Amino acid sequence: MAAGLPDGLPDPQGAADLADYIGLLDRLRVWGGDPSFRDLAKRVGPLLRPAQQVSKSTIADMFQPGRRRLNLDLVVGVVRALGLDEATVGQWHTACVRVHAQAKTGGSGAVGVFGQLPTDLATFTGRHEELARLVSAATDPGDGDAARTVVISAIEGMAGVGKTQLAVHAAHELVRAGHFADVQLHVNLRGFDPDLPPADPSAVLEAFLRQLAVPAQQIPAGMDERAVMYRDRMRNRQALVLLDNAADEDQVRDLIPAGPTCLVLITSRRSLAGLDGVTPHLLDTFSDAEALELLARITGPDRVAAEPEAAARIVDYCDRLPLAVALTAARLRSRPAWTLAQLADRLQTSRLETLRAGGRAIRPVFDLSYRDLTEPLQRVFRLLGRHPGPDFTPEVVAALANIPVTAAEDALEQLLDENLVRQSKPGRFELHDLLRAYALETAAEDSDAEGPAALERLARWFLCSASNAARAMKAKVLPERADAGDVAPLAFDSHAAALSWLDAEHENLDAVHRAAADAKLYEPTWQLPVVLAHYRNLRFHRVDSIEAHLLGAEAARARDDKTVAAWNLLGAATAMTAMGRYEEQDALITESLQLYQEADDPRGQSWALLELGRLNNTRQRAADAIEPLERSITLNADDRRHVMACQVNIGVTYYELGDVKAAYDHTERALDAARECGDQRAECILLSNLGDLNLELDRADRAHALYAEQQQVAQQVGDRDQYGRGLAGLGTALRAMGRLDEARSSWEAAYAVLAEIGSPRAGQVRELIRAADEDHPADSRTH
């Protein structure tokens, strides 16, 4: 590079010929902020002598690699418009005159000069693992067939993820290490250019051949003949070919040499999996550390160190996308009076508008990817921006867009190939946060009814699928449910399958419920908390359950729907059982009972009385528990499951009152009822209760057998709290049988399970272990 040129500025003196000069001019445009040809035309016109109006197409034609000559005045105008000083403008003028003179004689003027790589930016950050994989693939092709073929590495990823910078840096690393020293070729294939069509492979081959010292008059006219000559000229050369910004496989297929001494690096926003012999390298966003490092390199390490929390917010709002971080950092660098906190606040309120610097912005980068999608695919992409949850499956997309599941699968595969969605795990996809914001903005193209209709379809589909899951788990389900719409809800053939789906979709279900409540969708707002109550209790998602039930109750109150409001208030109270919020729980149960009475709903009253009996037991008010429980049975005697729950709690009450025999009888009756209903979770709890009672009655062998049976049922229903409780009971039974070492091992296992899920029972088990250590200090172990 000529002395005195700014860092990263292309040097026109290195141009071997006219095609090379045009390539450098295009790199100068990128260096100058990558203005559009329309914007550049507006800048150039007033700089000409005399000033005149210049069209966008005139400027665009200047950058076509196959041109035979350039208008020197326009070249000078473009260079001036990009902000260079007059001395540097003179260098570009001189180089332009020289390459035109060489073109007339048919010579390159620089035979053997093949240094065509773009500048390796000083701000290149991170990517250590990705770089190592690229270098390893280039330098260690392996044995057998792999060592006898050209190495092709395709760096793929979403717009702005840093594909070109990684490819350029890898190329420079390899050349600096002495690899591919004979030839380095580079071309921007313009696969996603805002103003120009993708580069013609035939024109690229012509430019490559000229850079390989083939005189212009000897270059064949046809593309096939050019490709043959190109492969011949590259044979046995240590050559690196960088094909940047490829549109698809067809564009690059004839630009790949055949020899094993060559390396081809390709970058593309699209998947190039259809290219023979290619090794894909999917590039993801930065880690937090890499994003912060880039922010510090461009903005200045002192500013980042002075506001670490604001810097972390900026990185988070950029979602670690390298281009977004770089634009934000460049904007901060140009505004030394701004604090990082001020920019973070701007990003919080308007991300896509704020992510810009000079003439560059993030939105046009995304526009290029979106523009090339078909209209149906654009619609699916826009609707994904409306999905309130963190990820989605083909079935979710089908419900959102009201299309068949097979069509949703095809759409996701196409968007994955375009790197507009990413696959988080098999069958599950997600949007980068900035692409989500962009998709939501583009949804302004839709009719006013499209968004609400999509959310309603989604909420109904989730509600019906969750109802089917609850039914498969033998949980309480709604007597009626909403129509799922045209896309069939999921069905489940086992408890395990239903539980697995609920685990995977829990965050989505929570997000969809909140969105439904905000949109005043009544049925999903009040029904989803009820349908999910059993699952959330099973998985200790009690805070989520309480908040969801209270949203449902609020929606019901707004409609003066007393029964529904009471149902959700009671659900919230039930979720509070293990949280010690007794006063709130009491108030909710009392309000629920009053609403059921006003609605003349005896079944509802029976549920409220059941919860009141449970609460009195929990608060050690056993004397006040039996009356509401017995009244509850009277009001709802036909419901076998309800009677079972009442019998359980009456048994607990008698135990608290010291009547172990009565407690045993009621608990045994409740177990029979649970098995009749097929309620495995209730069966699991009751087996533990009977084990506890047998210990009270000095029947350790019987207690041991019951706890062992309980373990099997707890595993089947996936209830880790009950599984830990059974392990603890098993340990107590073993201690009573004199098997102390086995007892301690069982308690240790119980503690591990219960502590992991945050169960309050963990502390009780820890005390059992501590007491055992004190009784048998020789056998004690550190805990």
Residue corresponding to tokens 């979709």: 505
Measured distance CA(385)–CA(405) in Å, rounded: 19
Measured distance CA(552)–CA(616) in Å, rounded: 26
Which pLDDT score, from 0 to 100, does residue 482 have?
57
Measured distance CA(150)–CA(9) in Å, rounded: 32
Q: Which of 233, 256, 107, 109 is nearest to 182 (CA)?
A: 233
CB 692 within 8 A of CB 700: no
Measured distance CA(650)–CA(644) in Å, rounded: 10
- Tens-digit pLDDT profile for residues 40-62: 888 888 888 777 888 887 888 88
Which pLDDT score, from 0 to 100, does residue 499 have?
93
Q: How many CB atoms lie within 10 A of CB 256?
A: 21
Among 311, 336, 365, the domain boundary falls at 365
Q: Based on the domain organization, do 270 and 165 belong to the same domain?
A: yes
Q: Based on the domain organization, do 88 and 146 belong to the same domain?
A: no
CB 305 within 8 A of CB 329: no
Query: Which residue did the predictor score with more confidence, 485 or 673?
Result: 673
Which pLDDT score, from 0 to 100, does residue 112 have?
29
The CATH number for 721's domain is 1.25.40.10
Residue corresponding to tokens 């089917």: 468
Q: Based on the domain organization, do 145 and 68 belong to the same domain?
A: no
Which pLDDT score, from 0 to 100, does residue 572 have?
94
In a domain, 344, yes or no: yes
Q: Based on the domain organization, do 266 and 145 belong to the same domain?
A: yes
- 154: which DSSP letter? E
Q: Based on the domain organization, do 236 and 210 belong to the same domain?
A: yes
Largest CA distance in the chain: 112
**Percent of the chain scoring above 90 in pLDDT:** 37
CB 434 within 8 A of CB 351: yes
Structure tokens at 551: 């949203």
- Tens-digit pLDDT profile for residues 517-572: 999 999 999 999 999 999 998 888 989 999 999 999 999 999 999 999 999 999 99
Which pLDDT score, from 0 to 100, does residue 59 have?
86
**731, amino acid identity:** G
Which pLDDT score, from 0 to 100, does residue 331 have?
85
Extended beta strands in 426-539, E state: 428-430
Q: Based on the domain organization, do 278 and 298 belong to the same domain?
A: no
Q: Which of 43, 203, 24 is nearest to 119 (CA)?
A: 24
Among 310, 339, 365, the domain boundary falls at 365
Among 257, 282, 307, the domain boundary falls at 282
Query: Which residue did the predictor score with more confidence, 39 or 376?
Result: 376
Measured distance CA(436)–CA(248) in Å, rounded: 25
Report the pLDDT averaged over residues 685-691: 90
- Tens-digit pLDDT profile for residues 250-291: 999 999 998 888 999 999 988 888 888 899 999 888 999 999
Q: Please enumerate in sequence order all residues whose Cβ is within 8 A of that of 350, keeping only pairs 6 or more positions apart, or say none.
A: none
Measured distance CA(123)–CA(393) in Å, rounded: 38
- Tens-digit pLDDT profile for residues 101-154: 666 544 433 322 344 688 787 778 888 899 999 999 888 866 555 556 788 899
Reply yes or no on whether the pLDDT at 81 is more than 70: yes
In 3-state terms, what secondary structure has residue 560?
A: coil
Q: Based on the domain organization, do 270 and 143 belong to the same domain?
A: yes
Average pLDDT, the chain: 86
Annotate 141-179 with b (16+ C-beta within 10 A) or e (fewer). beeeeeeeebbbbbbbbbbbbbbbbbbbbbbbebbeeeb
Measured distance CA(197)–CA(428) in Å, rounded: 34
The pTM assigned to this predicted structure is 0.68
Measured distance CA(631)–CA(617) in Å, rounded: 16
* Residue 696 CB-density burial (10 A; 0-12 exposed, 13-18 middle, 19+ buried): middle
Which pLDDT score, from 0 to 100, does residue 2 have?
43
Reply yes or no on whether the pLDDT at 10 is more than 90: no
Which pLDDT score, from 0 to 100, does residue 30 have?
81
Report the pLDDT averaged over residues 654-676: 88
In a domain, 230, yes or no: yes
In a domain, 565, yes or no: no
Report the pLDDT averaged over residues 654-683: 87
Ramachandran angles phi, psi of 119, nearest 5°: -65, 135
Measured distance CA(771)–CA(769) in Å, rounded: 5
Query: Which residue did the predictor score with more confidence, 527 or 677?
Result: 527
HSE (side-chain half, CA atoms, 13 Å) at 605? 17
Q: Based on the domain organization, do 93 and 134 belong to the same domain?
A: no
Beta bridge partner(s), residue 281: 155
Q: Please enumerate in sequence order all residues whose Cβ is within 8 A of that of 38, keeping only pairs 6 or more positions apart, or say none.
A: 56, 195
Which pLDDT score, from 0 to 100, does residue 106 have?
47
In a domain, 614, yes or no: no
Measured distance CA(553)–CA(572) in Å, rounded: 9
Q: Based on the domain organization, do 228 and 165 belong to the same domain?
A: yes
Domain count, the chain: 4
Which pLDDT score, from 0 to 100, does residue 145 have?
54
In a domain, 485, yes or no: no
**743, amino acid identity:** A
Pairing type for strands 151-156 and 239-244 reads unpaired
Extended beta strands in 346-493, E state: 356-357, 360-361, 422-425, 428-430
- Tens-digit pLDDT profile for residues 231-250: 999 988 899 999 999 989 99
Instruction: Find the domain containing 55 and state its range.
Output: 12-105
Q: How many CB atoms lie within 10 A of CB 708?
A: 15
Q: Based on the domain organization, do 274 and 304 belong to the same domain?
A: no
